[in-house]
Amino acid sequence: MPADTTAAVPRPPARPATAPVITGAEAVVRSLELLGVTDVFGLPGGAIMPVYDPLMDAESVRHILVRHEQGAGHAAQGYASASGRTGVAIATSGPGATNLVTAIADAYMDSVPIVCITGQVFSTLMGTDAFQEADIVGITMPITKHSFLVKRAEDIPGAIAAAFEIASTGRPGPVLVDITKDAQQTEVPFVWPPKIDLPGYRPVTKAHGKQIQAAAQLIAEARKPVLYVGGGVIRAHASAELLALAETTGAPVVTTLMARGAFPDSHPQHLGMPGMHGTVPAVLALQEADLIIALGARFDDRVTGKAALFAPHAQVVHVDIDPAEISKIRTADVPIVGDVRDVLVDLEAAFRGASESGAPDLTEWWSFLDGLRDEFPLGYAQPTDGHMSPQYVISRIGELTGPEAVYAAGVGQHQMWAAQFIKYERPNAWLNSGGAGTMGYAVPAAMGAKVAEPDRVVWAIDGDGCFQMTNQELATCTINDIPIKVAIINNSSLGMVRQWQTLFYDGRHSNTDLNTGHGTVRIPDFLKLADAYGCLGIRVEREEDVDAAIKLALETNDRPVVIDFVVSADAMVWPMVPQGVSNNYVQYARDHSPAFDEQED
């Protein structure tokens, strides 16, 4: 007879004979506490007010009052991305909930686990265009993993527990829980743990063994393999397993914008970031490969360029926990659905078996790639307009701060320079809005990251355009003792739009001048703004003053720091593959990238 294994099966804690009777609002707070939530970001309003009353008495949940609900959403993202734990944002109905939409869409695109709890009007008023009513479940359905509408108080614990389960398992992402006001106010017995019933939600984590063996065989036979690493490796906490596979196979590694830090920049097998603004070795390694091993990556258009011309000679092994991503853009010769962390372990073991007769000889492949490294080192041209080089400023921030910090970037030129010129040695050090490209992400995301990782230095590297969208969260930082550092890369313009106008619209700079730094009148004056928010404000206009300002920021931990770095508006992000063209662009790079003619270390 088989052994009795009953004792080995974990059992839920016994429920009390008499469950305490509490309101639905109290059940929200109690559920968060029992799920181990320690920090939430939110802003109260009429439809969520019942929750805010017991939240005031919560001993283990810290609520951080933001100045705009979008800030709550991005803070929850930054919290999750820096720590790996699920972030939480709370908002009221109507405009409070719709202000979360941008952050929810952003989290959906970048697979960030957040739970958004919103208040809704009384269930009897739904559908009547009641005051501050909005169908937030319907609005967010395309941009969440799931959206719950809770109309009964007894359903609240189960909905919240299920939301955390869905957000953090499988492919991570945002989940919305919308709770009517009457459900919050009704008293019911509180039962924990609730029964979670998620029919149809069964994420596949264990890959098929035959697919693993087929992939390992392709790697063993390849002469020009590339490990194409996406953000899924970071979400899966699989960096150590990636390092092991890379060193076992000897294959070059490229890390996408969302995967910076998944593989150490200092490692000799790392070629850098691929894509529109990637390094030449990374881009051409993919283009010339005979085998691409895509790990938690989705063949985004910013990586592939014109998809029909991408890597024409390569077979593809595609590993992803989301089956919808497999062969969506590029047909996979070996599709592998599973948790990339587990797949990497199995794949390394299978490769060792497949290559017992001898590891593949990649000498010729590495000779080609090293030649590209020598010919096309990452660099930049010095500005000629008398202003500072933004690349220099950002590189010095990284060099003086080090790899243990967290760097959150806004969107645009400064985002690309931060991805290029800061060296990332560990996962979760680089936060940015990759898929949605949301301006205004940096400051609230940095705030959330600092709450999650209070012992780390956290930089928000922002543009003067992005900064003006969410800088009100500096008030939140000052009041709540969240001493982030903000570097405004101030080129007095919407820099990336201006770059495209320069290159593709005959230099017609339509509506991209922001008047923030280059004239005698600065609107706004970022130093005065910093002072108004209780921050230390610093302005730097000369390269010889850059280091001193950064060091002062690093030494200041009693309040946030804002540094206004006034840089050249003519600086461009190079290399650049124009949208919709082939990635086979060595000649284009030579003709259009002055950085290749005038290198700066």
157 burial (CB, 10 Å; 0-12 / 13-18 / 19+) is buried
Cα 371–chain centre separation: 32
Residue 521: the pLDDT is 84
Q: What is the rounded distance in angstroms from the CA atom of residue 233 to the CA atom of residue 339? A: 9
Residue 495: the pLDDT is 87
Condensed to tens digits (0 to 9), the pLDDT of residues 54-84 reads: 999 999 999 999 999 999 999 999 999 999 9
Q: What is the rounded distance in angstroms from the CA atom of residue 132 to the CA atom of residue 66? A: 20
Residue 119: the pLDDT is 98
- For residue 524, cis peptide bond before it (omega within 30 degrees of 0): yes
DSSP code per residue over 268-301: TTEEE--STT--HHHHHHHHH-SEEEEES----H
Q: What residues of the chain score a pLDDT lower than 70? A: 1-17, 580-581, 584-601
At which residue do the structure tokens 């703004």 appear?
A: 529
Residue 121: the pLDDT is 98
Q: What is the rounded distance in angstroms from the CA atom of residue 131 to the CA atom of residue 129? A: 7
What the chain holds in terms of domains, given with CATH numbers, is 14-189 (3.40.50.970), 209-375 (3.40.50.1220), 390-573 (3.40.50.970)
Q: Which residues are catalytic?
A: 69, 131-132, 181, 496
- Joined together, the tokens standing for residue 316 give 């593809």
Residue 16: the pLDDT is 54
- For residue 193, cis peptide bond before it (omega within 30 degrees of 0): yes
21-23 and 187-189 strand pairing: antiparallel
Residue 8: the pLDDT is 42
Residue 588: the pLDDT is 47
Residues comprising the chain, all counted? 601
DSSP code per residue over 16-30: PSSPPEEEHHHHHHH
